[in-house]
Chains A and B, each alone.
Chain A
């Protein structure tokens, strides 16, 4: 199984429902604080937002873990606390093995990891709540709450999965593909 994410940039209305849902579902205890993710100066969630410009128009990207098949964070981790879960293909963190060296945070070219101010250990997508949902065969919260239906989640190895259906129909890109990370997070651009 190779679970993957698809985000349709044309459908996204930038309502931030996924950003807030991720933070409140996965890190409710941190959300109660004033500065829940100081490193990003952002919510204690696994999705951050960047806005650039393309031909004079604003261009939005939602950034979370890309579940790279050739993951720099996994190579950098000295203790194998960061690893690729062979059952799902998702990149996970086993916090019990983590020593907090922050190599994975430096290594991730997407800036998809952040340091939990309570534990001083790295966090990333999927958070603890979404991990349970995925283990039970359900979608992560960002996909469930998206009012525009711009997010999909599913198995790349299953031709019938919603992600494959979308990938067949549209023009897609993967972010920073040239770095050789082989991300499993697709952006529909047309």
Chain B
């Protein structure tokens, strides 16, 4: 009786996320089939914003995780070490979601291989594809290594672990600097500055990565007091300190744009125009101020409720800000005659919304599926097909 209840529970823990992943994929495919060129549309809209978002979320968690693998921090009672496999699974899932969105944004996703076949070294997008591949390969190799090796073997193979983590970290930093340059090198869009965006994206990587890691890890750590308190304290500290930097950089971007009339044409829409409520209300008040206070409280009082709230706010506000950064600056670009602007009126289409929603369903479902079939939790060992529970 007890055994059949266990089997049923296991079936549910695999079956439900699997069904949700498939449902999400179906939404993505259906949305893709319905995509069409919209009236006065910009070129990179909701899907590219979503892709950038997932890419940034994935980068941060590798930084969180590298503190353990490269710098050897285990947590006061080894808590960080216990969570390290979950910490690697999370960016893998987030990167897969980023891939889904970027492929869905292409008009001919099945021709994607042409990026490698005709690799153009001048193109930031070509480098994105290469760095992504290296990054995801490093993450998968690291996860397999951690799953396959026992605690004793890990001590003897420490160099391999550090090499894999370092490769992931270096590829990650290059990837995010390059991602910023995908936008920053576009001289046609004055609202995007390459040097600024690189710093901005790297800071976002830390905030979103720590927030995503905290939120997703809590689905397991919540039931374990010492893990719950550790995640609250540790991620709270990372979020509180990086979100302050993010606030500073956000305002720096606004002040710098004020001196450039062409950049101000779109920045003014964000700061004092039709998007100002989103900017001041969601990005600044919730995403920076409230997130900082909650994260600080979480780290000082080891409060799980506070870290979950801070992470949720950071993730929501982060998406809004990335959307504003990518979309709004394309809606008013300078024409060849001075003082004139080419104006676009972008509204995300139903197809794009469907694709994004599908990906947001896949994200936690795939994470849960991984937790159900891979030995990611403390003490779990692979029993089937080398890496499965």
Contact = CB atoms under 8 A, between A and B. Distances in A.
Interface of A: 35, 38-39, 41, 50, 52, 59, 61, 63, 72, 74-81, 97-103, 105-111, 115-117, 119-121, 175-176, 179
Contacts of B334: 109
A131 to B, nearest CB: 20
Contact of A75 (B123, B189, B337, B339): B123
Contacts of B36: 117, 120
Chain B CB count within 10 A is highest, among A41, A99, A100, A110, for: A99
B252 interface: no
B40 A41 contact: yes
A119 B337 contact: no
A76 B107 contact: no
B21 to A, nearest CB: 25
Contacts of A117: 36-37
B274 interface: no
Nearest to A118: B37
A111 B333 contact: yes
Chain A CB count within 10 A is highest, among B38, B182, B337, for: B337
Interface of B: 35-41, 43-44, 105-109, 111-112, 114-115, 117-120, 122-126, 129, 182, 185-189, 330, 333-340, 342
A76 B337 contact: no
B112 A99 contact: yes
A38 B187 contact: no
A41 B345 CA distance: 11
A97 B123 contact: no
A105 B117 CA distance: 22
B127 to A, nearest CB: 8
Nearest to B128: A78
B336 A110 contact: yes
Given A35-B39, A102-B107, 11 more contacts: A41-B39, A76-B123, A76-B124, A78-B118, A99-B114, A100-B107, A103-B123, A106-B44, A111-B333, A117-B36, A176-B336
B337 A80 contact: no
B187 A179 contact: yes
A81 B118 contact: yes
Contacts of A74: 122
Contacts of A81: 114, 118
Given A41-B39, A41-B40, A78-B129, A50 B120 contact: no
Chain B CB count within 10 A is highest, among A77, A105, A106, A179, for: A106
A100 B106 CA distance: 5
Nearest to B103: A99
A61 B111 contact: no
B40 A39 contact: yes
Contacts of A116: 37
B37 A61 contact: no
A52 B108 contact: no
Contacts of B109: 99
Contacts of A98: 107-108, 111
B168 to A, nearest CB: 23
A74 B122 CA distance: 9
B37 A50 contact: no
12 contacts: A61-B337, A77-B120, A78-B115, A79-B111, A81-B118, A97-B118, A99-B109, A101-B125, A102-B44, A107-B187, A117-B36, A121-B108
Contacts of A120: 35-37, 107-108
B342 A111 contact: yes
Given A38-B38, A101-B125, A107-B188, A52 B44 contact: no
Contact of B117 (A77, A79, A101, A175): A79
A97 B336 CA distance: 30
B96 to A, nearest CB: 19
Contacts of A76: 122-125, 185-186
B336 A78 contact: no
B115 A79 contact: yes
Contacts of A80: 118, 120
A5 to B, nearest CB: 14
A-B pairs with the 8 shortest C-beta distances? Answer: A100-B107, A120-B107, A52-B337, A78-B126, A109-B188, A78-B125, A175-B336, A102-B43
Contacts of A109: 187-188, 333-334
Contacts of B117: 79
